[in-house]
Amino acid sequence: MAITITVFRLCSLLIFLSLYPSVSLSDRCNPKDKKVLLQIKKDLNNPYLLASWDPDTDCCTWYSVDCDLKTHRIISLVIKDSTIPDTNFSAQIPPSVGDLPYLESLVFHNLPNLTGSIPPAITKLTHLKSLWIFWTNLSGPVPSFLSQLKNLTFLDLSFNNLTGSIPPSLSELPNLDALHLDRNKLTGSIPDSFGSFKKVPNLYLSHNQLTGTIPASLGKLDFNIIDLSRNKLQGDASILFGSNKTTLMIDLSRNSLTFDLTKVEFPKSLTNLDLNHNNISGSLPAGLTALNLQLFNVSYNRLCGQIPVGGELQSFDIYSYFHNKCLCGSPLPACK
Ligand SMILES: *[C@@H]1O[C@H](CO)[C@@H](O)[C@H](O)[C@H]1NC(C)=O
Ligand SMILES: *[C@@H]1O[C@H](CO)[C@@H](O)[C@H](O)[C@H]1NC(C)=O
Ligand SMILES: *[C@@H]1O[C@H](CO)[C@@H](O)[C@H](O)[C@H]1NC(C)=O
Ligand SMILES: *[C@@H]1O[C@H](CO)[C@@H](O)[C@H](O)[C@H]1NC(C)=O
Ligand SMILES: *[C@@H]1O[C@H](CO)[C@@H](O)[C@H](O)[C@H]1NC(C)=O
Ligand SMILES: *[C@@H]1O[C@H](CO)[C@@H](O)[C@H](O)[C@H]1NC(C)=O
Ligand SMILES: *[C@@H]1O[C@H](CO)[C@@H](O)[C@H](O)[C@H]1NC(C)=O
Ligand SMILES: *[C@@H]1O[C@H](CO)[C@@H](O)[C@H](O)[C@H]1NC(C)=O
């Protein structure tokens, strides 16, 4: 499941980046933008990664940036260490990134020596649609001030070293398609305010240390994808389901959720359901046989009774069902 989601995320990034092909124009670069970029390069300690940023050339041709085709203002800054092995990249995100006023996309990716916290200067980027800071060594909180970036559609802060609790203000982002805060060290509970997202984002909060119960307010939302796996969440998760929803993927695995699955009604659209390693009781509802499931895992719970026959349920092996209280029937041994 985690792999599926990671691949999904990387694909979205690639698709997204391909929307901004490099442009090469005869010195059209805005002089203000060029000055700021050179400051950013300096603030990042002149990394080898930015060797192409030569003040004597058109900044619209530089590696890692893209200019708008009409205005020639910098709209995309993508700093990632992928192919060059010895970049000697060691720095913090410089506040100078806030001085590229037309930036729509800002990416820091695969930079283990990028440290420090997310600078408030980012809030100056009012046109920002995508902020991806992932696979870095960034620490400190998920800043509440990110809620000021009203045009954000993608916010990805996964695979970092962020701590503290999730700021309730993020639900004030009105255009969010996806929110990735997974693979950090976040604590506290999921904010109640998350039930008031105007547009419901794909929500990825897995691999943190989140505690408490899933707020009842989330039950009102119709998520496409929700991944809360590998936290310390407790209590009822049945509110996330419902026959009227159009949810595709729900991953709640490896928490401490305690609820009765017997009467849960599932969205017909559900393809991935991972509930392994919780404290879920009751039996498997017959409604599961109506689903076109591609991934299903209820192992390591306290379920009982016969596995319903039909649909995709017998296409999974015993490892999707083992370690329960008294589940029985194919693919597990027959009921007594
Ligand atoms: C690596 O970074 C350090 C500190 O910023 C600098 O002194 C050194 O010259 C850099 N080495 C290379 C090969 O760029
Ligand atoms: C990160 O910094 C350490 C120590 O300064 C260095 O050994 C390592 O090569 C750096 N890694 C990258 C990817 O720059
Ligand atoms: C991440 O940063 C911490 C200090 O904030 C440091 O101890 C650790 O070595 C860094 N990890 C990597 C992979 O650079
Ligand atoms: C957000 O985007 C819309 C349309 O792309 C634009 O008209 C608006 O000015 C942007 N908002 C800000 C604060 O830049
Ligand atoms: C997070 O920080 C710890 C130590 O502070 C370090 O061991 C670990 O590698 C860091 N994680 C990342 C993703 O850099
Ligand atoms: C599903 O939606 C219909 C109409 O929107 C409503 O009448 C019905 O009560 C809903 N059922 C459930 C289970 O929420
Ligand atoms: C599982 O749930 C039962 C009943 O609610 C409770 O008694 C038990 O302590 C829970 N076990 C764990 C490991 O959370
Ligand atoms: C289901 O979860 C269990 C426990 O983590 C794991 O051993 C098993 O491989 C999983 N099965 C599938 C099909 O993902």
Report yes or no: 181 and 204 within 8 Å, Cβ to Cβ.
yes
Specify the DSSP class assigned to residue 130: E
What pLDDT was estimated at residue 8? 55
With a 6 Å cutoff on the Cβ, whether 39 touches ligand 4 is no
For residue 328, give the H/E element and its range.
Answer: strand 326-328
Instruction: Give pLDDT, residue 87.
Output: 57
Which of 233, 256, 258, 281 most suits a substitution to test ligand 7, by most atoms within 8 Å of the C-beta?
A: 258
Q: Are 133 and 160 in contact (CB under 8 A)?
A: yes
Torsion angles phi and psi, residue 35, rounded to 5: -60, -45
- Expressed in angstroms, the distance from the first to the final Cα of the chain is 33
Please, what are the averages of pLDDT over each run of 10 residues along the chain (336 residues)?
A: 53 52 61 96 89 93 93 95 63 95 96 93 98 96 98 98 98 98 98 97 98 97 98 98 97 98 97 98 98 98 98 98 97 95
Task: Please give the C-alpha separations between residue 268 and each of 133, 240, 287, 299, 333, in angstroms, as whole numbers.
Answer: 34, 14, 9, 22, 28
Q: From 1.10.287, 2.115.10, 3.80.10, 3.40.50, which CATH number describes the 236-336 domain?
A: 3.80.10
Three state DSSP letters for 12-39: HHHHHHHCCCCCCCCCCCCHHHHHHHHH
Rounded Cα distance, 138 and 65, in Å? 22
Ligand number nearest CA of 219 is 6
Ligand 4 site, residue 124, Cβ cutoff 6 A: no
Cα angle: 165, vertex 270, 274; to 5 degrees: 55
Q: Whose CA is nearest to atom 9 of ligand 5?
A: 137
Q: Which residues line ligand 6 (CB under 6 A)?
A: 242-244
Ligand 5 contacts (CB < 6 A) are 112, 137, 161
Ligand 5 centroid–CA 195 distance in Å is 32
